[in-house]
Chain A
């Protein structure tokens, strides 16, 4: 049951009005003190209602600051939120009040919440004919006009309610309500509230952030994402982003109690809050007057309307008629208070200079209206250019290459009728490009506009009110504590462009991205430099329009979903055998399979022994596989591989190397010819995608005439490598139809057969030097085949092995691994693979580079083996190799580095592979590897250490 609060709890709450729910009360804490408010309040409006004037302190000078604006333009009221959700730094004007809110004012700098963020975030794509940004009068009109044509419309607005400046304003608000109701009836229209369009990219791609749960507080359902990024592709965009009121630089213009006039009006209308008891209004345009009248109607005493314009026009008459004192041709020259505003100094303004006696007016509130800045941020992001409109004293949109139209006050229109007409026409036109002028006429009747009194007076440019002292408290950027004095120093230092001035002073770089300070900075700087405002221009508006949480942008791509884990069809088999996994690219590959009590070294030694002496098997499914088909497939592969592929006979396999254009090894692997016009190319695991990209790049950009198609079939085959002198025995038991002799099924051949009853392609390939087979089956049969191999091999002690053992076995044979023994600076010749580089082929990718002077040098770094003098010393992979001991002073000349280093059971010692300058010439020499403070002596050897004759290949 709602509690009845004493009215003193809300000393500034008006008895009526506002779009708040007075029947319910919310409790919250600010800076440790308990307060109450109502649903519909923001933290800022609730604090103002409770009489809290100072909300924060400023970053550089530590000055007291209060609520200055009403929305995302707020420069002062920065808060941190602790409950019911955590926020590092937000503006109090954009925090919807919820039960139990705990917030603290900030000195211009946020504090990241401790502990993990439990919320979830997501992203949604949307496509529409018309995207309308902003649901004020112009935006509502645009959305309605577009929706009525049947177009797919998205309307996004950053507030919790549609209506913008109409909200809480009587008959105008009723018009807004009717528009909202009608929009709700269009099934093709999507209305996104609490959704800020923050980025406008090429091809009408816009990003928006929807805040979905913060306003619900602790009642937010756990399954609903906290924030959602909308990725919107729009046929046409209508920007109805409104305008922000501009402050004026005068002495001490930052005190709590100083507020934008439009903000004060919004607090009255939307929140039923009086900004103060006694107000002075300082204006350089007509906007100060309706604000003064609204405040007066709400019971705030208006002590003076100070109008910088000598001729204030109809509005001044209205105000005087209502009994409000108007001082035309005057300016506010300063404020007093400790720290909150208690009085305002007013002087006559003559030729921009204050003159005559100072009148001190007691007031707790000072409303300021220096004019309006159309909100052109998104338009600028889209690539739109601006022009300065001297009549409106505003930068307005000029032109843009994208399909966008700016309407309403964002385009410089400032009456309600103009905004609605403008919006409606743009909406209809955006939905229907063929619309005629007649179609577009009077689409929508505007709401009654109490502000339109049939003729006002033009605004004047008023950037600053000079004072007798150095303008050290004339703030242009409240959030960055940048003053006119700072700008004067900057221009005095020789700077004359806005980008330099911004960087010198930091104006416009804070949380609000210069929403209130940007144009004011330009105006003051132009004044100081004695140039036109139009000549100086604005700084570049960059995305995002409002700050966007990292977590919202990360979305679902976190943890296990950050980069999807790839596992093979045999993953469960590996888990069942207690494999330890290694990340290889996105894949999880078994690294080794420890038995109980075994460490890695023991497991690897055991796996190696099995492969060399009996039989072992591994999951080789992650190797990339590319199906290359077409009449020119052989020609194509001849161009990509260094060796000849087209002469390969169907049924046979060839090892091949690919180079980049610079002649360096890109990848290696085997190629199977499966038909006259078809090859199966295998790649290294990590390079599978890159090699397919490589093929496509050449096919699509250089050789489009070749009749070749490539497709990844990595996951269409599961591959089991069966290795060791007893592998033939195991396979014979499972594949009785397969010829077992090397004559009938020679090395580097493949056969289609059945293995364990499953159609399989068996290759005679070896990456260990042992008799070995690779058995390829469709992945859904792989577990069956794996287990069948395990059973058939059991009599021979078959052992599963992982990547570490694979590496030891291949390194003993001197087989390089691309990416480990190469680094993009290694030629096939450097690796000792000169035999795989065709001298006969007219050309292949990299051939020309192999003839370059440096690439053909005989003393390049070459792959060799290193044998530590001490047979037990394991050299560090990555260790450097030097020629001499002891080490000279740095820089020490280095010969190369260790690429692979293992303990070998078969060799009974440790060994390493290394890339060493002139390595082949050094075979037999003693060189050194610095390890910590020790120089380890090693002997250079030929890289093939095990079975150099290749006697074991056929079993």
Chain B
């Protein structure tokens, strides 16, 4: 290293000197939010800041933002296929674009673009379809051919000799990544400062329902009365719903992710490939952040099987031969909560005053501010936010699905 060069880690922003209090739970709140992950904290933030509702507790059975919020690959994009999904994620993306200023916290939100690669003729059709839908929907989207892909990300192997050659890709320039802990803590700090009680180590063990209306929750730290209860517990929302006497169509699967050691910058954007199953970015410090495939079995264990990681590495090297001598530094598992149509459930539940926010699957992080704002609106007005309407629980009865599995249809 030549003299005078700044060390590579010198420019990362620090966290602030104060984050939150650690209060004991009160006997009663206007609103109890179950789950202190990104969505729960964002809901608390918007309840306080957008709706003036501050007599609120966020109950977290572990530590704040220690579940999927700490385990995702931090990709943010809004280039979803269906109007309903694109609308929600675009709403969230617009909030992301103002979030650092709103929260006065360095979120390392970096709009470095996302490439979704196409490897087959059907991928190309699906990609064009999505780009066209996005453009008409007002979302930035481009179709790039293979050379265009290489211009955006020079380390992608676009050789026609590849097993599944890159035929092109869609590109959303406004997409990107953010630093998950910063995001969660910024939301938590804001909620805490507004008077919301963030209560950690507090597991909900029962939900009190009287006359079809929720009256409170029972927890490992005592009973807490609440007129309104919002469930933000991802896959465990099924467990909570069962306490309230109804079922949710959720399946939870382990999903692994991993990081490499810190490396000099090589990867300027975010690349996703469904066919080869890779999604990878290089975070600010320099580590490659990569998601693996979903483990096939259902489980609440935050651990997956190793062959999934091995397969992931093979796929990564197909697209990025330059990664050969990067090292897997750390792997971990999260839980993806998947509904039958791979879209979330947001809105009212069969129990009055009990609100649902779950089933975000692999989309949870990118939705964080949007999900929080929509759920806060829904809780505050006891009426689904307009963007939440398509994501009601009753769509599984009516059949009005928002099927994001759709784009993953198979070849003839």
Convert A473-507 into 0s and 1s, putting 1 for each residue whose CB lies closer than 8 angstroms to a CB of B. 00000001100000001101111110110011010
Q: Cβ of B397: which chain A residues have Cβ within 8 Å of it?
A: 852-853
Contact call B264/A555, Cβ cutoff below 8 A: no
| Cross-interface CB contact of B17 among A110, A492, A563, cutoff 8 Å | A492
- From residue B328, how far is it (CB to closest CB) to chain A in Å? 5
What residue of chain A has the Cβ atom nearest to residue B129's Cβ? A878
User: Is A549 positioned at the interface, with any CB of B under 8 Å from its CB?
Assistant: yes
Within 8 A of A (CB), among B1-32: 1, 5-10, 12, 14-22
User: Is A835 positioned at the interface, with any CB of B under 8 Å from its CB?
Assistant: no
Contact call A562/B318, Cβ cutoff below 8 A: yes
Within 8 A of B (CB), among A158-182: none
User: Is A108 positioned at the interface, with any CB of B under 8 Å from its CB?
Assistant: yes
Contact call B17/A60, Cβ cutoff below 8 A: no
User: Is A150 positioned at the interface, with any CB of B under 8 Å from its CB?
Assistant: no
User: Is A899 positioned at the interface, with any CB of B under 8 Å from its CB?
Assistant: yes
- From residue A340, how far is it (CB to closest CB) to chain B in Å? 17
Q: Cβ of A510: which chain B residues have Cβ within 8 Å of it?
A: 261-262
| Cross-interface CB contact of B329 among A513, A877, A882, cutoff 8 Å | A513
Contact call A112/B412, Cβ cutoff below 8 A: no
Contact call A562/B314, Cβ cutoff below 8 A: yes
In the bound complex, CA of A548 to CA of B325 (Å): 9
User: Is A57 positioned at the interface, with any CB of B under 8 Å from its CB?
Assistant: yes
Q: Cβ of B262: which chain A residues have Cβ within 8 Å of it?
A: 59, 89, 108-110, 510-511
Q: Which of A109, A550, A889 has the most CB atoms of chain B within a 10 A radius of its CB?
A: A550
| Cross-interface CB contact of A62 among B7, B200, B340, cutoff 8 Å | B7
In the bound complex, CA of A876 to CA of B306 (Å): 41
Contact call B126/A878, Cβ cutoff below 8 A: yes
| Cross-interface CB contact of A892 among B125, B137, B285, B315, cutoff 8 Å | B137
Q: Cβ of A855: which chain B residues have Cβ within 8 Å of it?
A: 399
Q: Cβ of A493: which chain B residues have Cβ within 8 Å of it?
A: 15-19
In the bound complex, CA of A930 to CA of B408 (Å): 24
What residue of chain A has the Cβ atom nearest to residue B403's Cβ? A825
In the bound complex, CA of A112 to CA of B323 (Å): 7
| Cross-interface CB contact of B163 among A549, A560, A892, cutoff 8 Å | A560
Contact call B9/A503, Cβ cutoff below 8 A: no
Q: Cβ of A662: which chain B residues have Cβ within 8 Å of it?
A: 340-341, 399, 401, 403
Convert B59-81 into 0s and 1s, putting 1 for each residue whose CB lies closer than 8 angstroms to a CB of A. 00001101000100000000000
Convert A670-700 into 0s and 1s, putting 1 for each residue whose CB lies closer than 8 angstroms to a CB of B. 0000000000000011110010000000000
In the bound complex, CA of A549 to CA of B326 (Å): 6
Q: Cβ of B341: which chain A residues have Cβ within 8 Å of it?
A: 662
User: Is B335 positioned at the interface, with any CB of A under 8 Å from its CB?
Assistant: no
Q: Cβ of B122: which chain A residues have Cβ within 8 Å of it?
A: 819-820
| Cross-interface CB contact of B398 among A59, A495, A565, A853, cutoff 8 Å | A853
| Cross-interface CB contact of A59 among B9, B16, B309, cutoff 8 Å | B9
In the bound complex, CA of A136 to CA of B330 (Å): 26
Contact call A550/B325, Cβ cutoff below 8 A: yes
Q: Cβ of B164: which chain A residues have Cβ within 8 Å of it?
A: 563, 583
User: Is B101 positioned at the interface, with any CB of A under 8 Å from its CB?
Assistant: no
User: Is A521 positioned at the interface, with any CB of B under 8 Å from its CB?
Assistant: no
Q: Cβ of B329: which chain A residues have Cβ within 8 Å of it?
A: 511, 513, 544, 547
Interface stretch of the complex, out of A14-22, A199-207, A234-242, A280-288 = A199-207
User: Is B305 positioned at the interface, with any CB of A under 8 Å from its CB?
Assistant: yes
Contact call B332/A878, Cβ cutoff below 8 A: no
Within 8 A of A (CB), among B353-412: 395, 397-401, 403, 405-412
Q: Cβ of B407: which chain A residues have Cβ within 8 Å of it?
A: 823
In the bound complex, CA of A207 to CA of B12 (Å): 35
Contact call A108/B128, Cβ cutoff below 8 A: no
Contact call A511/B306, Cβ cutoff below 8 A: no
Contact call B305/A500, Cβ cutoff below 8 A: no
What residue of chain A has the Cβ atom nearest to residue B128's Cβ? A878
- Once A878-B126, A897-B133 are accepted as A-B contacts, the answer to whether A551 and B66 lie under 8 Å apart by CB is no
| Cross-interface CB contact of B133 among A499, A584, A894, cutoff 8 Å | A894
Q: Which of B124, B286, B401, B409 has the most CB atoms of chain A within a 10 A radius of its CB?
A: B409
User: Is A87 positioned at the interface, with any CB of B under 8 Å from its CB?
Assistant: yes
Contact call A880/B132, Cβ cutoff below 8 A: yes
What residue of chain A has the Cβ atom nearest to residue B127's Cβ? A878
In the bound complex, CA of A115 to CA of B81 (Å): 37
What residue of chain B has the Cβ atom nearest to residue A78's Cβ? B261
| Cross-interface CB contact of B328 among A494, A497, A547, cutoff 8 Å | A547
- From residue A482, how far is it (CB to closest CB) to chain B in Å? 11
What residue of chain B has the Cβ atom nearest to residue A553's Cβ? B313
Q: Cβ of B130: which chain A residues have Cβ within 8 Å of it?
A: 878
Contact call B9/A109, Cβ cutoff below 8 A: yes
User: Is B181 positioned at the interface, with any CB of A under 8 Å from its CB?
Assistant: yes
- Once A59-B262, A201-B306, A684-B412 are accepted as A-B contacts, the answer to whether A87 and B128 lie under 8 Å apart by CB is no
What residue of chain A has the Cβ atom nearest to residue B267's Cβ? A112
In the bound complex, CA of A207 to CA of B21 (Å): 43
In the bound complex, CA of A112 to CA of B262 (Å): 10
User: Is A88 positioned at the interface, with any CB of B under 8 Å from its CB?
Assistant: yes
- From residue A803, how far is it (CB to closest CB) to chain B in Å? 8
User: Is B324 positioned at the interface, with any CB of A under 8 Å from its CB?
Assistant: yes
Q: Cβ of A468: which chain B residues have Cβ within 8 Å of it?
A: none
In the bound complex, CA of A640 to CA of B124 (Å): 31
What residue of chain B has the Cβ atom nearest to residue A383's Cβ? B303
Convert B303-317 into 0s and 1s, putting 1 for each residue whose CB lies closer than 8 angstroms to a CB of A. 101100111011111
What residue of chain B has the Cβ atom nearest to residue A207's Cβ? B306
Within 8 A of B (CB), among A534-557: 542-544, 547-551, 553-555, 557
Q: Cβ of B124: which chain A residues have Cβ within 8 Å of it?
A: 877-878
Contact call A494/B19, Cβ cutoff below 8 A: yes
User: Is B136 positioned at the interface, with any CB of A under 8 Å from its CB?
Assistant: yes
Contact call B121/A201, Cβ cutoff below 8 A: no
Contact call B137/A59, Cβ cutoff below 8 A: no
Q: Cβ of A469: which chain B residues have Cβ within 8 Å of it?
A: none
Q: Cβ of A889: which chain B residues have Cβ within 8 Å of it?
A: 138
In the bound complex, CA of A108 to CA of B181 (Å): 22
| Cross-interface CB contact of A880 among B129, B260, B285, cutoff 8 Å | B129
- Once A112-B323, A499-B66, A877-B125 are accepted as A-B contacts, the answer to whether A107 and B1 lie under 8 Å apart by CB is yes
| Cross-interface CB contact of A88 among B19, B127, B325, cutoff 8 Å | B325
User: Is A350 positioned at the interface, with any CB of B under 8 Å from its CB?
Assistant: no
Q: Cβ of A116: which chain B residues have Cβ within 8 Å of it?
A: 321, 324
- From residue A120, how far is it (CB to closest CB) to chain B in Å? 11
Contact call A107/B129, Cβ cutoff below 8 A: no
In the bound complex, CA of A586 to CA of B87 (Å): 35
Q: Cβ of A686: which chain B residues have Cβ within 8 Å of it?
A: 410-412
User: Is A113 positioned at the interface, with any CB of B under 8 Å from its CB?
Assistant: yes
| Cross-interface CB contact of B406 among A58, A585, A823, A892, cutoff 8 Å | A823
| Cross-interface CB contact of A60 among B10, B21, B70, cutoff 8 Å | B10
Contact call A553/B324, Cβ cutoff below 8 A: no
B interface residues (Cβ-Cβ under 8 A, vs A): 1, 5-10, 12, 14-22, 63-64, 66, 70, 83, 87, 119-122, 124-133, 135-138, 163-164, 181, 200, 260-264, 266, 285-286, 303, 305-306, 309-311, 313-318, 321-332, 340-341, 395, 397-401, 403, 405-412
Given A494-B20, A554-B314, A890-B137, 18 more A-B residue pairs with CB atoms under 8 Å apart are A62-B1, A62-B7, A88-B326, A88-B327, A112-B323, A114-B322, A117-B324, A493-B19, A497-B200, A506-B285, A550-B317, A558-B314, A583-B119, A662-B401, A823-B409, A852-B398, A854-B398, A899-B125
The 7 A-B pairs at the shortest CB distance, nearest first, are namely: A878-B128, A890-B138, A852-B399, A547-B327, A878-B129, A117-B324, A686-B411
Q: Would you give 18 A-B contacts (Cβ < 8 Å), ordered by A?
A: A59-B8, A89-B261, A105-B1, A108-B8, A489-B14, A493-B15, A500-B63, A510-B261, A511-B329, A513-B330, A542-B332, A550-B260, A555-B314, A582-B121, A823-B406, A823-B407, A878-B132, A879-B132
A interface residues (Cβ-Cβ under 8 A, vs B): 57-62, 86-89, 105, 107-114, 116-117, 123, 199, 201-202, 205, 207, 229, 480-481, 489-490, 492-497, 499-500, 503-504, 506, 509-511, 513, 542-544, 547-551, 553-555, 557-560, 562-563, 565, 582-585, 662-664, 684-687, 690, 803, 817-820, 822-825, 849, 852-856, 876-880, 882, 887, 889-892, 894, 897-899, 930
